[in-house]
Amino acid sequence: MISRKQLLALVALTLMWGINWPMMKLSLRELSPMYFRACTMTVGALFLYSWYRARGLRMLPQGAEWQSVIRIGLPNMLGWHTVSILGVKELASGRAAILGFTMPIWTVLIGVLFLGERLTRRVALAAVAVAIAIALLISHEFTALSGRPLGIVWMEIAAVCWAIGTLMMRRAHLTLPVETLTVWMMILTAGCLWLIAGLSEPWPSWQFSGAMWASLAYGAFINYGFAQTMWAGLARNLPPATSAMSVMAIPLVGTLSATVIVGEWPHWQDFVAIAFVMAAIAAVLLPPRAPRLQGKTA
């Protein structure tokens, strides 16, 4: 049974991660994608390192543990965060969030196709629902005057990277705390992002508006900082159904908050796509109902 404190924390976490999508879009008006990711992830990683070290966690991987950090971090952190920000740049932020959160379905499909997991009716229905959602968004991007269907490709590649990283995380035999793994994946990814940014983007002027600095602070301290610490505390104790509900709500929060933060008004295709993606996530994450026991009559 989830406590009231856990429920409030989960609602806050869902809002934080949902609002982060239009906040990223706001940041990209004044800062290029790779420098944005490099800045926010660096500050967020340092914040988390200080926070967990102050709580007494072992913060330095040892020996073969570095292999786990690098191997899991490549798709789960570098792949997802690098490619998804390219998708956010091309698409409306709410639409990018919808596509990014097809990750749970990709996780299950990859498990079925490559890891010998069983294909169930639920998985098949989820795959069809996601295909319909993607088709709806692709059709609008192609018909819109300023449509950018390439953004959909970026977001689905990012979702697949996240799914692969999730599967690797589930199957890994970790000997270091998950918090330590997360922090070092962020630190190493941030270093790669600074290198990619330096090679592919002009050096920023760093003369930003107040809204821009607020957006950067949000990305660093809320998205990468407080939200990560809250999730680390919740994930161990939440029932799967409750976690699934949070995942399902994040794209909806992102889509609705985008109208206030960046003035993006969703189209009917976005709301229908959200419904299909939420249905797909429910199909693969929510546990099936237990069968009812029929009472005997004398």
Q: What is the mean pLDDT of residues 277-286?
A: 86
pLDDT at 118: 85
Res 61 pLDDT > 80: yes
- State the DSSP string of the chain: ---HHHHHHHHHHHHHHHHHHHHHHHHTTTS-HHHHHHHHHHHHHHHHHHHHHHTT---S--TTHHHHHHHHHIIIIIIHHHHHHHHHHHS-HHHHHHHHTTHHHHHHHHHHHHS-----HHHHHHHHHHHHHHHHHHHHHHHSTT--THHHHHHHHHHHHHHHHHHHHHH----S-HHHHHHHHHHHHHHHHHHHHHHHSPPP-----HHHHHHHHIIIIIIIIIHHHHHHHHHTTS-HHHHHHHHHHHHHHHHHHHHHHT-PPPPHHHHHHHHHHHHHHHHHHSPPPPPPPPPP--
| Assigned token pair, 204 | 């920023």
The amino acid at residue 190 is: A
219 neighbors 23 (Cβ within 8 angstroms): yes
pTM here is 0.90
Higher pLDDT, 232 or 118: 118
Res 286 pLDDT > 80: no
| Assigned token pair, 209 | 């508006």
Mean residue pLDDT across the chain: 89
Which tens digit of pLDDT belongs to each residue from 143-191? 765 567 889 999 999 999 999 998 998 888 989 999 999 999 999 999 9
